[in-house]
A and B are shown apart, each in its own frame.
Chain A
Amino acid sequence: MEKEEHKDKNPLQENRRHFFSQLSVGIGSLALGSLLIPDLFKGSETIQTQQALGLPHFAPKAKRVIYLFQAGAPSQLESFDYKPTLIKRMGEDLPESIRNGQRLTGMTSGQDKFPLMPPKIGFNQYGDSRTWVSDFFPHIAKIADEITVVKSMHTEAINHDPAITFFQTGSQISGRPSMGSWLSYGLGSENKNLPSFVVLTSRGKGNSQGLYSKLWSSGFLDSKHQGVLLRSGKDPVLYLNDPDGLSRSDKRHLLDHVSSLNKLHHVETGDDEIESRIAQYEMAYRMQMSVPDVMDISKEPESIIQLYGEECQVPGTYAANALQARRLAENGVRFIQLYHQGWDQHGNLHNEMAGQAKDVDQASAALVLDLKQRGMLDDTLVIWGGEFGRGNYAQGKFDLNNYGRDHHPRAFSIWMAGGGIKPGLNYGKTDEFGYNVIENPVHINDFHATLMHALGLDHEQLTYKYQGRRFRLTDVAGNVIKDLLA
């Protein structure tokens, strides 16, 4: 038999053909086996899950954000969180069981009494959602069914700077990229002729706190993600316009020459920063055309002017910025950050807040309505709120005619509209004193995670490696609040 013949052969005496035929069987079966391991040749897990930048991780509901930041922290007790108990028990000392050791700022830590302070302003319920809105905000009351009020926001900081830095960057300590920069980094720009992150500021007559450019800084991200402050008046972006006597074609020649020099340098060094610099020069050149165009509201019809309020024709007002925000949104700006200063009512709260509310009420509501009629509310997320809340006890003396409220981080209200957020919802609850969250708390990290989710980003996936570790906007915390999402 054939078998017998092979028996005496030295096993090492293989011929080449035999060796290859056996090898091919071996490799063939390896290949067959590998079919059962789909990811065998795709590298490790981490590489696989890494997302391309400039694209959402999943189909987004919102494409852009307009954040109407009320700097200084408007009182939730005079706006959206109605607490009749404060009226019933006015003047009584805040029970220790409610305060529960909450730390205080230097402004009230010396007080030996914390008399419960009711709002002087009246409240009513509006819309099918029966949302409570104070009489300071008659226009926002009209859009009660478009907005979702979150009454259970809470933060850790009790002073303006750390609190606002926390809200904008996800950390109380400065140096991290702003939320708008993270989105620009994650989603890229929609319109290459405008920055993807724009900041507009205005100031009310109320007691205000400073604003600083670190709030819209790109931190350790590429500087092209930095927020660009558009100023009111004829020079919206500083140093954007050419000096007198330089024509646009001269400028073009100049840029072309600079660019060719830069390209030479890039070939020599291979430094990617040079390329991004070239791109920024080009963008600035295009912005010379696009910015004046987008800032020019003269073509807005009278009906729109009336909607936002006549004040929107006065550059630098909140109303003007709100209208501007809509125009920027139409032009593909991803993150439009408004700041309105003057909400820090430590005293004379009723009168100051009346003025502040008058500044923002109509224009904020108008913005929502205007976006809605343009079919943009579906993919634009509008957010209105401050950096923390205000205490339920009087700062200083108990005097209904001239009272103030100190900072309060444990519970405050914001509202959101459009952009994948369920409309007409009242989310979260505070206790009867309006002091502690008792239902569905939303931490700043949760807020960031939810906002990113609406924009199609997984807050755990969008990271940037810096100084040896990966950073996220939500750092190591944050849960998407699914109940808020439509």
Chain B
Amino acid sequence: MDHGILALTVFLLFCLLLESHIRLPFWLAWVGKWHPMVLHFPIVLLLLMVLLGLTNQRMAPVLVQFTVLATLVTAISGFFLAVGNGEKGDLLFWHQYGGSLLALLAGLWYVLFQYGLHQKGYAKGVLAVIMVLTFTTGHFGASITHGEDFLALPRNPEKKELPENPKIYAHVVHPILETNCIPCHNPNKKKGGLLMTSLEGLLKGGEKGNTLVPGNVEESELLRRLHLPKTDEEHMPPDGKKPLEASEIAILERWIALGALDTLTLAQLGPEEPLTNLVKALMAPQESEQWKELPLVADSTLQRLASDYLTIQRLANHSNALTITAFSPPIYDPSPITALQAIAQNVVALDLSNLPLGAQEIDFVAQCTPLQRLDLDGTPITSATLGKLAHLEELQFLRLHGTSLDDGALSHLAQFKNLKKLYVWNTGIKQSALREFKEKNAGIEIEDGIQDSLESFFRKSDTLGLKQNGAP
């Protein structure tokens, strides 16, 4: 046993000193593959030895021998693995020398143990160093295999929000690579000699070259491998890792087709470029996210409040966001609408078109704070009552055409913070006032009826003979 320990120690020292000259036969490289399995033994044994040693427990010599042997075998197999893998990153460097030092220190302690010096202070110092080295070397090794942040605290996998005009490489492509590729193709673990952390690395490529050929989708090895069937040896990511989503592959493909530039931004893409849609899909807030804060509302409540002339619907399955549409009954009664107060906090769209609304209905509307879309066209709403609604901050879409609103309404309309679309044709609002409002509120798209030129084109082509009744 002692001879074995001595032999392996010498062999390890030899390897370390002559590393650059070593060419491994293939079967030795295969021995290296056992390193990730074997390494668990010395970790446990070393820590056990440290624990027993520091607490002055009795220790069988065979335990110490096994520990030293296991540490040496692991260090040597690790050495083979590293040599077989080509380029060495910083992490691997420290891991390798840490592991070797650990094996040598274990050997040293075994010598002290044999001479009965193991209860001396300096022997315990060696043990302490062994313990620290076991942890650090183990951690380095794990970082190589599992990625550097494998021990990072768990985070919610919340998607980072993309800026208004994202850079395609930095904000879209790189994050895809970061999740799927970079854990194996980084400076510490350059699988296949490929570095994917930067655009330069991608362009330089790996051992097989042509990882990414700007503008040429067919020639790009990266895409070829992504597109291979999952069972193929060469498919990336390799067996056992999560394959990329079809949309992610499509993004990479279009980006490469467009020249793989790191300067490209969303705004530079045409509307017909498929990449535009793919990126926009990433940017769109998930509807379910948007309304997850809404209070719960039971189906029974909805059934109770709905009637033949009042439809209440969830926006989608399992959503607490409600859309409400009221239709004109033969005899109008405001009570079904005012009864909706119970669910006012859930209403995101409300259609009260063409109903003879009174003050109490408007008061109800004012309570619907999550409201995004509101239809009040053809109702008797006035400029003064409109002011009651100006605090609806989420409101984006507002239909007011066919009402008797006048210029006074515009000052209230300017108060809606998020208003994006406004329908005000066929109202008492004057063209000049509306024009001024448009200039001041460029963010609001205003629909003020069909263009005059279009209207006259449609009017002209009438053939049945015009009956001029005067404009309504």
Contact = CB atoms under 8 A, between A and B. Distances in A.
A309 B472 contact: no
Contacts of B464: 309-311
B330 A51 contact: no
Interface stretch (A115-123, A298-306, A402-410): A298-306
Given A307-B458, A373-B401, A286 B463 contact: no
A55 B308 CA distance: 18
A375 B35 CA distance: 67
Interface in A280-309: 286, 289, 293, 301-303, 306-307, 309
A303 B277 contact: no
A191 interface: yes
A30 B457 CA distance: 76
Given A58-B287, A369-B454, A192 B461 contact: no
A138 interface: yes
Contacts of B457: 139, 142
B272 A425 contact: yes
Given A331-B327, A373-B425, A375-B423, A193 B308 contact: yes
B449 interface: yes
B260 to A, nearest CB: 22
B377 interface: yes
Given A286-B308, A310-B462, A483-B277, A374 B401 contact: yes
B469 interface: yes
A373 B449 CA distance: 5
A224 interface: no
A73 to B, nearest CB: 25
B353 interface: yes
B325 A191 contact: yes
Interface in B309-336: 309, 311, 313-317, 319, 325, 327-328, 330
Given A142-B454, A307-B458, A483 B274 contact: yes
Interface string B445-472: 0010110001101110111111111111
A325 interface: no
Given A311-B464, A373-B425, A482-B277, A55 B472 contact: no
Contact of B455 (A303, A374, A485): A303
B316 A56 contact: yes
A478 interface: no
A250 to B, nearest CB: 17
Nearest to A63: B323
A302 B469 CA distance: 7
A47 interface: no
B311 A52 contact: no
A67 B382 CA distance: 37
A311 B425 CA distance: 25
B423 A374 contact: yes
Interface string A357-374: 000001001100110111
Contacts of A307: 450, 455, 458-459
A330 interface: yes
A355 interface: no
A306 B423 contact: no
A59 B309 contact: no
A375 B314 contact: no
Among A310, A332, A370, the one with the most B-chain Cβ atoms within 10 Å of its Cβ is A310
B438 interface: no
Contacts of B274: 483
Contacts of B462: 306, 309-310
A138 B461 contact: yes
B69 to A, nearest CB: 36
Given A191-B311, A192-B311, A374 B471 contact: no
Closest 5 CB pairs of A and B: A301-B472, A310-B464, A59-B287, A306-B459, A302-B469
7 contacts: A188-B313, A302-B471, A309-B463, A311-B463, A332-B311, A332-B327, A362-B461
Interface of A: 51-52, 55-60, 138-139, 142, 188-193, 286, 289, 293, 301-303, 306-307, 309-311, 330-332, 362, 365-366, 369-370, 372-375, 422, 425, 456, 482-483, 485
Given A56-B317, A189-B311, A373-B425, 20 more contacts: A55-B314, A56-B316, A58-B287, A58-B317, A139-B457, A192-B311, A293-B328, A301-B472, A303-B471, A307-B450, A307-B459, A309-B464, A311-B463, A369-B454, A370-B450, A373-B401, A373-B423, A374-B423, A375-B399, A485-B277
